[in-house]
Amino acid sequence: MIHAFYHADTLTNQSWYFLLDVESGSIHTLDKAAFDVAYALENNKDPYQSSQDAAAVDEILAEFEELKREGMFNVPLKAQPALYKNDQVIKAMCLHVAHDCNLRCEYCTYSGRYYTRTHSPERMSEDLAFEAIDFLVKHSKERKSVVVGFYGGEPLLEFDLIRKVVEYTENFYAEKIFQFTITTNGVLLSEDVVAYLKSKNFNLMISLDGPKELHNKYRRFSDEKGSFDLIYENLKNAKNNHREYFQVLKTNTVLTPGQDFDDIINFFRNDSLLRNVDSWFSMLSDMDSKEPIDFGDSFLVLYQKEHFKLMLYLLGELERSYISEAFMRYLNELTDAYKVHLSKTKMPVKAHPSGPCVAGVNKLFVDVNGDFYPCERVGENSAIKIGSLNEGYNIEMVRMLTNIGSISEEECLNCWAFRYCNMCVGKCLEQGEISKTKKMSHCQSVQYNAREKLQDIQFLKDSGIDFEKLSEVYDMMGESR
């Protein structure tokens, strides 16, 4: 199987042409003539009907035949279920300590705009939280360290419970290293709370949607009052009293349709308090949303502009100061993709598409009632419940979710992005049910992202970029923050 693709730079009016051999994972840079022929072959069209003359097509086809004889381009795939071993060890657990929140953000997954979640007074009990920690330790014996995250609603509403959980791990599992994480809206970040989180080395992320006007548009209290001033004041106090800890905290901005993305980027780049903070950006989730979420052309234009600036920086044509801190994270994604690309071995005759994680291994989400789900992003949806503290793992459900590609088996086997698919099972949910139609609706986006990374990798390689040094650059950036 092959995939022909190209990258057109509208600013320089240049185009680069590539051919991916899906079977071997190799990428070849082509000229326009070879690309036209490869594109025709991929799409079951007559290559002699391309824009190239017959003699040129004959020569290109002969070269392709030679590559086929060398074992490229020609291995049909058959489905192979992904295996799940019962002795898998958990790496991280997320405790859903509260359904409630002290804000009523318009886009929140608990706002009523999604099928599976609403605000409620439900909270996790102390006994259940301790039982969850026991389960984590029992199922991670081979790991020296594990991660425990606290999730809401607003998790700091249950600050007393969080402290008790940390104390429980210290009293009963001192031989295990626990790394604690929390994402908070920042409203309750008092001096006492920050001092405690610092003392226990919490990985702290604070939700902040950019400048005051944009932040307050969505992140408001129940009386419609914006939350920016209170959160910003808490951050100033945290910096004044805990400067070293402040340097390692993170912010997360939820990007929503209609926002001025340039204003958000410039805010985090120029604000005197936040310009050196590690700023993260996430797209408004469409997982099981009641209404479609469309970012439109404005986001694509910004993305392409920031992408182009990053490429110029990597080629030595633009200074680092012009690159958005958030978009520099794409550099890490790119180097990771390069490592994955290098690790590709010859495609087996039978295979399973990449994409879903092994549910309950990389992360296990435990809700307020002790039920298990793959992670906090997919929500408490009965269609993907994988067990409970009372019953343990539902192994058959875990196997089914790990093999979610089977619901679109034929389409997956004939997809060039088979090896590069990163589709989460959450993308397959529609009104609380697993849907093939919903899954297939995301395929174009998956292919776009895979294609972009592959063409960037090949373009940078052809330009003499050393990806090992790129990894070092990204690591140094993290240290400098």
CB 177 within 8 A of CB 146: yes
Helix 54-69 vs helix 32-42: angle between axes, to the nearest 10 degrees? 70
Half-sphere exposure at residue 129, Cβ-oriented, CA atoms within 13 angstroms: 25
* Cα 47 from Cα 51, distance rounded (Å): 9
Domains of the chain, start order? 1-75 (no CATH), 92-328 (3.20.20.70), 329-354+403-481 (no CATH)
The distance of Cα 321 from the centroid of its chain, to the nearest Å, equals: 25
Q: What are phi and psi of 257, to 5 degrees?
A: -60, 140
Q: Tens digit of pLDDT per residue, the chain (481 long)?
A: 889 988 877 666 788 899 888 877 788 889 999 999 999 988 889 988 877 789 999 999 998 888 777 767 655 555 555 555 555 689 999 999 999 999 999 899 888 888 878 888 999 999 999 999 999 999 998 899 999 999 999 999 999 999 999 999 999 999 999 999 999 999 999 999 999 999 999 999 999 999 999 999 999 999 999 999 999 999 999 999 999 999 999 999 999 988 888 889 889 989 999 988 989 988 888 877 888 888 877 777 888 888 888 888 888 899 988 887 777 778 878 887 777 666 555 665 566 666 567 777 788 999 999 999 988 888 787 788 999 999 999 988 888 888 888 888 888 888 888 878 878 888 888 887 889 999 999 899 889 888 988 888 888 888 888 877 776 655 555 544 4
The pTM for the full model equals 0.85
